[in-house]
Amino acid sequence: MVAGGAIHADWKGLKPAALKDGRDLPGETDTRAIFKAILADHLGVGRLALEERIFPDSGSAAPVRGLIRA
């Protein structure tokens, strides 16, 4: 189950200076980090498989912790 009620990114607010092109929230989270969390915590996929086979060269995108609730 996904643990809701939390923001898993750096929240910079909604002031125009914080928005991309003055209107859009900028992307702050590497999508691979979300998928790594789901694959590891929910499906039990190991770290080596995640970083070498599923998402090669993704060592900088650590899985989001606390995303999946037991």
pLDDT in tens, 2-52: 667 776 677 888 998 899 998 998 888 899 999 999 999 999 999 999 999
On the question of pLDDT at 57 being above 70, the answer is: yes
pLDDT of the residue at 2 = 67
Distance CA 16, CA 20 (A): 8
Q: DSSP of 28-49, one letter per residue?
A: -S-HHHHHHHIIIIIT---HHI
The mean pLDDT of 50-57, rounded to a whole number, is: 94
Question: Which tokens belong to 9?
Answer: 């990114």
Check residue 24 and give its pLDDT: 92
pTM: 0.69
Q: Give residue 43's pLDDT.
A: 93
